Amino acid sequence: MSQDWIAIIESAYRLENDDDLWLDRLLEQAGPLIDHGIPPVAWVYRHSRSRRDLVFARSAVSEGRRWVKLAHAGRDPRLHELLYGEGRCLGTIVRDMFPRLPDEEPKFRTVTAGAAEDLLLAAGHTGTGDAVAFAAYSKTEISVTRQHHKRWRWLGAHLGAALRLRAACRSLSLDEFPVEAICDPDGRVQDARNVGRDRNARERLAHAVRVMDRTRCASRRLQTDEALAAWEALVAGRWSLVEHLDSDDRRFIIAVRNDPHHPDPRGLTQRERQVAEYVGMGRSSGEIGYTLGLAPSSVTDCSLRAQRKLGLSSWTELATFFARNGPRARLAECSLSGNQLLFGSYPRIPEHALRGLTEAERDVLAALLAGSTNADIARRRRSSERTVANQAQSIYRKVGVRSRNELAAKLHGAHGR
């Protein structure tokens, strides 16, 4: 089978198949792109607070499935962080995993019993922790080109959006949420509701439908890089485009709301939280823009607003805070009396690390470590934001740090000493 990258995206957005057929079809389409002599494997990774599940493509060979299961059986959380938390779209086990997790190499050699020398891993991440992944074992060490890295970043954005879409709706009713617009193949909007009725939104949708249709034509799909770059994973940070045939076989393109859902009681807007989550996965602003269908300037603005609200001073600090094993990962959200609250579990900080702090500063410190904004702390303490900001600066000075990220790292580091 030839390497048709656009065909994988087309298969990903088909909702008429059940999950098993959907995954089998993706493996069939993606196989030629990653095959290194041993039949590739595909699976969906879903996680919750209590468990992690792997659901394999039925067409994947049993030996490959067994190897992947054994590879996931370890208890080292860094393995799952590397595979899924960082949002990596393409990499090899020899070059990208063994240097960081050296204990994985003897495990890999034992699991494969010498039948494989290397492993290519490719994935699409939802932005909410789940992923659709592919593994291709090889009898020789694998070298990945820069072009393939770039293409898989584009492809992975669509695969993640498609998996997120399938989790939200197994079938679509054109009259109900999350369908917000119906377009003909020429981009004319036939019906719209909610945000889709806005004039600017209709123009964005019309343009995106025309781009998608041009990308899928026989001549353009052969120009792989141009086609992948043009077909963004979301439209206007909100919609996935899905093909629909009515009972008369008339073809329409429907706009389905499919942006990642991240409620955040710390004061971040939904868009700011979406951008921050991808920053925490190590994505560049260009990659985030493609994945969410946002202009680079919008990504920058969202990240800056998130930094300001959380009291962070740089993109790096934002990435650290929203990393899968960062401070944000230790917080749980719940609703109480109509209010969204965050609860966190942190190691008890040694008393000597807090010496010199007043009682008020200790209260503010606890809120800072939980990720609350200055405005939220001020509201809860019935004080002004300026007072909270001054207290925070006093805490930083006494502890010997410059930001809340450094504060968390130093105090929790003190716990382990």
All structural domains of the chain:
5-168 (3.30.450.40), 179-257 (no CATH), 346-417 (1.10.10.10)
More confident residue, 339 or 169: 169
Write out pLDDT tens, residues 50-63: 778 999 999 999 99
- State both tokens at 148: 């393939």
Neighbours of 134 (CB within 10 A): 24
- Verdict on whether the full-model pTM lies above 0.85: no
- State both tokens at 173: 């009713």
Write out pLDDT tens, residues 10-19: 999 998 888 8
More confident residue, 165 or 78: 165
**pLDDT (mean) for 92-110:** 93
- State both tokens at 93: 């086990």
Write out pLDDT tens, residues 319-347: 877 877 666 666 655 665 566 555 554 45
With cut-offs at 50, 70 and 90, classify the pLDDT of residue 248.
confident
pLDDT number for residue 355: 79
**pLDDT (mean) for 183-197:** 93
Q: How far apart are alpha carbons 330 and 191 in whole angstroms?
A: 43
Q: How far apart are alpha carbons 36 and 27 in whole angstroms?
A: 14
Per DSSP, the three-state class of 191 is strand
Write out pLDDT tens, residues 223-237: 999 999 999 999 999
Neighbours of 9 (CB within 10 A): 25
Question: Which residues, listed in sequence order, are joined to residue 55 by a DSSP beta bridge?
Answer: 44
Helix 404-415 × helix 385-399 angle, to 10°? 50
Percent composition of the chain: helix, strand, coil (DSSP 3-state, to 5) = 50, 15, 35
Q: How far apart are alpha carbons 237 and 244 in whole angstroms?
A: 21
Neighbours of 380 (CB within 10 A): 12
Helix 404-415 × helix 359-369 angle, to 10°? 100
Neighbours of 282 (CB within 10 A): 13
Write out pLDDT tens, residues 255-267: 999 999 876 656 7
